[in-house]
Structure 1
């Protein structure tokens, strides 16, 4: 009579994924953000994995965690394995959905720069479906399901458009601004993500002006408030260009300050010539030519 041995049980995949993310990012909180779970879930997964192994993977310290020798030995191989798995999933999706393109970008770029270009893209390539995800930070494209990533950076990827700073406001408010010092008498709008914009511009033009005014968590909302006459906003050239063309915003001063960061486009892997992702990437970069 044949003997059927009990099947060997594998280590839980979710626990391995949580450990690898924590080891690579160096923090349970960062791992949780990447995986879309709570830090407590990552902690529980790692603890369960350690109990299954009968050995510690992290040393718990007052200021965080540090890999043990066992954790360090396993982390690199797991990172390579999950990178390969993500790559295989991306290739499978590309084959199954060859005309779908997923783009990740900042909320402000999505609303003020990318969205206005989508009608022309649809007209040029109606067979391509483009989905936009607004994120506050660039995703890890080796793990992300996004095909393209468009974020401000000084180098890397493909430069789509250069960025520059200059104040903008509604035309009626511009009449009250004869010189830079007049900014001290009007509300100056700020965006929490780009909190240093005013300091960068004022330092570059050699002025010291006491600033006051509301702070917004969404740059697009700050732009709309500037259009509504609520105050003067430090404009990012590519993001306010449409309003300047329509005349809903004007630039009351001639001084413009170029930024080292431009809007740059990345892909997780080389784009196949003629693919939908390559067509979208070329369409976004084309204006530079």
Structure 2
């Protein structure tokens, strides 16, 4: 039998149609993935991928065997997840974007520890949702399109509007006054300003470039410091609005097609540690 690592490399590269993406998922280098697949091809005596300048494609042999390997590794991953959750049901691992982890989950953790002291909650920040069938997380909390699936809980709609420091708001009477202001951008949600302006000031051509931040929390901090105006996501900025550190200078809001969504690999079971943690996070009002 060929080495398990070679089979894992083949399955990931074939499923993702990319050696580089497989390397990211397996936490190795693309060269290591290529070497593992080469060793598997040597074991079979046949090519599993066609290499070309734009990437790789499965050969008919590779395409034929891929579904079986996907099913096998899905079953193995599910068994590992079940083993982990049964052995330590009160250890909850959550994956979330950095903004959600910092601005929505983190403020809730002290109350969660008080209310559910038996739970151990770990948070991992990442830009893209993990594959819950393969990666060791119980919950994934991300803004997602509202294409509801059975294991989703919608925590809040995604509503956006401009926010700024109180002293900056004094000069804002209408969207047209934005021409004299600095617009701040988060690189993950760079289109937010355009989306909001299309509703608040159609045809006025008010969009302009401004400072960009790869972390939404950093953009918010600069916004609080008076550096400019940022598009706020209501779920993330509500505590800052309630404390008066930020204000919303205009009444126009836009509800995006996405929503703050909590997803698990398996259906939530009433009374389970996972459901208790999820219900607490959603119900808590800061």
The TM-score with structure 1 as length reference comes to 0.93
Q: Tell me what 1:92 maps to.
A: 83
Q: CA deviation at 1:184?
A: 1.5
Q: Please list every run of 5 or more consecutive structure 2 residues that lacks an aligned counterpart in the other structure.
A: none
Q: Is the 8 A contact 2:142 2:261 kept in 1?
A: yes
Q: Is the contact between residue 163 and residue 232 of structure 2 (CA under 8 Å) also seen in structure 1?
A: yes
1:287 Cα offset (Å): 5.7
| Counterpart check, 1:250 vs 2:265 | no
Determine the structure 1 residue equivalent to 2:168. 173
Give the alignment partner of residue 58 of structure 2, picking from 67, 70, 77: 67
1:61-140 → structure 2 map (5 Å cutoff): 61-140=52-131
Whether 1:23 and 2:14 are equivalent positions in the alignment is yes
Aligned-pair CA distance for 1:286: 3.2
User: Which residue does the alignment assign to 2:189?
Assistant: 194
Kept in 1, the 8 Å contact 2:6–2:40? The answer is yes
Structure 1 spans left out of the alignment, 5+ residues: 1-9
Q: CA deviation at 1:210?
A: 4.0
* 2:103 pairs with 1:146: no
Which residue matches 1:263? Answer: 260
Structure 2 residue aligned with 1:212: 209
1:150 Cα deviation after fit: 0.8
SS state at 2:184 partner: strand
Aligned residues: 279
Separation (CA, whole Å) in 2 of partners of 1:120 and 1:280: 11
SS of 1:193's equivalent in the other structure is coil
What's the secondary structure of 2:80's corresponding residue? helix
Contact residue 184 and residue 212 of structure 1 kept, 8 A: no
C-alpha root-mean-square deviation of aligned residues, in Å?
A: 1.4
Q: Deviations over 1:116-166 (max 9, x none)?
A: 111121111110011011110001110010000111112222111111110
2-side partners of 1:211 and 1:251: how far apart?
20
Alpha-carbon deviation of 1:78?
Answer: 0.8
Following the alignment from structure 1 to structure 2, what is the Cα–Cα distance between the partners of residues 89 and 77?
Answer: 18
Q: In structure 2, how many angstroms separate the alpha carbons of the residues matched to 1:38 and 1:198?
A: 37
Matched residues in 2 for 1:20 and 1:199: separation? Answer: 40
Aligned to 1:7: none
Distance 1:113 1:54 in 2: 53
**Residues 165 and 246 of structure 2 are in contact (CA less than 8 Å); yes or no, is this contact kept in structure 1?**
yes
Shift of 1:203: 0.6
Q: Does 1:234 align with 2:225?
A: no
Task: Describe the SS at the equivalent of 2:13.
Answer: helix
Q: Is the 8 A contact 2:9 2:22 kept in 1?
A: yes
> Partners in 1 of 2:28 and 2:50 — Cα distance?
22
Distance 1:12 1:275 in 2: 38
CA distance in 2, matches of 1:15, 1:88: 20
**3-state DSSP class of the match of 1:140?**
coil
Deviations 1:35-93 (A, max 9, x none): 12221211111111111211100111222111112111211111111111111111111
Partner of 2:68, secondary structure, is: helix
